[in-house]
Amino acid sequence: MTDHLFERAAIIGPGLIGSSLSRALRKAGVVKSLVAYDKNPATSARAKEIGVVDEAATDFAGAVSKADLIVIAAPVGAIGEIASAVNDHAQSGALIIDVGSVKGAVAEAAAQLREDISFVPCHPVAGTEQSGPDAGFAELFDDRWCIITPLDRPDEAYKTAINKAKTLWERIGAHVEFMDPAHHDLALAVTSHLPHLIAFTLVGAADDVESVAQAEVVKYSAGGFRDFTRIAASDPIMWRDVFLKNREAVLEVLGRFSEELAVMQRAIRWGDGEALEKAFTRGRSLRRAIVDAGQETAEPNFGRDKDGQ
Ligand code: NAP
């Protein structure tokens, strides 16, 4: 395909999401060439070795200054610092996007940048519990949503940049939705951050029940526990940063969850079957809505697919 949107993309942090995006951008012909930079040079070297990018840069300025697309794919806690370094080295007219799971903090950092470059904050709502360049794959964003939280900048150049970012995600199979950063952070606290917190906590709690041996937890994990361990296997650094940067929204949602949990506790204590049944019926209908929206398949998965996912 010849209709490249960009000549040269710099991928900062070619881990799971960065390397998936590199693969997808290349496959869809969105960029002509790709360079990776990572704070750990072995990671960018690995990305080049497995053919995810054309070049591995050891020098940040060198990677960024010749790129017309800069993708910040590092953990959310590092995005502010990287954005400020991008500000020092990016060429005029460059489009900068990130893929961070929290948007309020990113929007604040993006608003500090020069006006001749455009930072359009993005969050592809797609991922796995794996990390690193080897874990990525080009199809990760197929039929998934990417939320864009644009800055409030009235200039034409920024509007063009937003459209370019939208086209980029659509060319690799994603659907795009625009949102205010605060709303994004609250919505994702419900759909992603709280579930991860619960999974991390549940797995920790199971470890603490001394009368149940770890061997039993492993042996009988298909009773529900196993599905939580997949989420709890997610990258600790990435998730540390999500909770540090989305503190208020997570605390708000956690408060509501704690109240619901207390209601369940009471229903169990008092043998209130009707209340339990009502709550569980709500769970089933939400699951059905997710399947109907094409965000999951209805097939039961007993952990027996070939890759064990
Ligand atoms: P990952 O596989 O660990 O990749 C992140 C990469 O960024 C790593 O190679 C890391 O290097 C590098 N890095 C860290 N600090 C850096 C810095 N200051 N400069 C340059 N590179 C740096 O993590 P990921 O899952 O792809 O997550 C990346 C971003 O995507 C995060 O912002 C996350 O919130 C977002 N996201 C993740 C998911 C998901 O499901 N995983 C989904 C959507 C969005 P080292 O490993 O050497 O530290």
7-39 pLDDT per residue, tens: 999 999 999 999 999 999 999 999 999 999 999
243-270 pLDDT per residue, tens: 999 999 999 999 999 999 999 999 999 9
Q: At what angle do helices 247-269 and 273-292 cross, to 10 degrees?
A: 140
Looking at 179, 214, 230, which one is the last position of a domain?
179
| 107 plus 34 within the same structural domain | yes
Looking at 179, 203, 219, which one is the last position of a domain?
179
Residue 302 has pLDDT above 90, yes or no: no
pLDDT band at 309 (very low <50, low <70, confident <90, very high): very low
CA of 162 to the centre of ligand 1 (A): 23
Q: Whose CA is nearest to atom 41 of ligand 1?
A: 127
CA of 78 to the centre of ligand 1 (A): 9
| 162 plus 242 within the same structural domain | no
Tokens 């001394």, residue? 210
CA of 250 to the centre of ligand 1 (A): 21
Ligand 1 contact via 74 beta carbon (within 6 Å): yes
The average pLDDT across 190-199 equals 96
| 222 plus 151 within the same structural domain | no
How many domains, the chain?
Answer: 2
Ligand 1 contact via 80 beta carbon (within 6 Å): no
| 172 plus 199 within the same structural domain | no
Residue 133 has pLDDT above 90, yes or no: yes
CATH number of the domain bearing residue 76: 3.40.50.720
Residue 306 has pLDDT above 70, yes or no: no
| 45 plus 146 within the same structural domain | yes
Q: 3-state DSSP helix/strand/coil percent for the chain, to nearest 5?
A: 55, 15, 35
Ligand 1 contact via 18 beta carbon (within 6 Å): yes
More confident residue, 247 or 308: 247
Domain boundaries, position 201: 183-271
Query: Percent of the chain scored above 70 by pLDDT?
Result: 96
Is 42 within a domain? yes
Q: Whose CA is nearest to atom 35 of ligand 1?
A: 100
Q: Is 34 helix (H, G, I), strand (E, B) or coil?
A: strand
More confident residue, 219 or 113: 113
Closest ligand 1 atom, CA of 242? 34
The average pLDDT across 220-228 equals 88
Residue 176 has pLDDT above 90, yes or no: yes
Is 1 within a domain? no
Buried b (16+ CB within 10 A) or exposed e, 273-308: eeeeeeeeeeeeeeeeeeeeeeeeeeeeeeeeeeee
Separation CA 261–CA 266 (nearest Å): 9
Residue 134 has pLDDT above 90, yes or no: yes
- Determine the Cα angle at 271 with ends 269 and 272, to 5°: 110
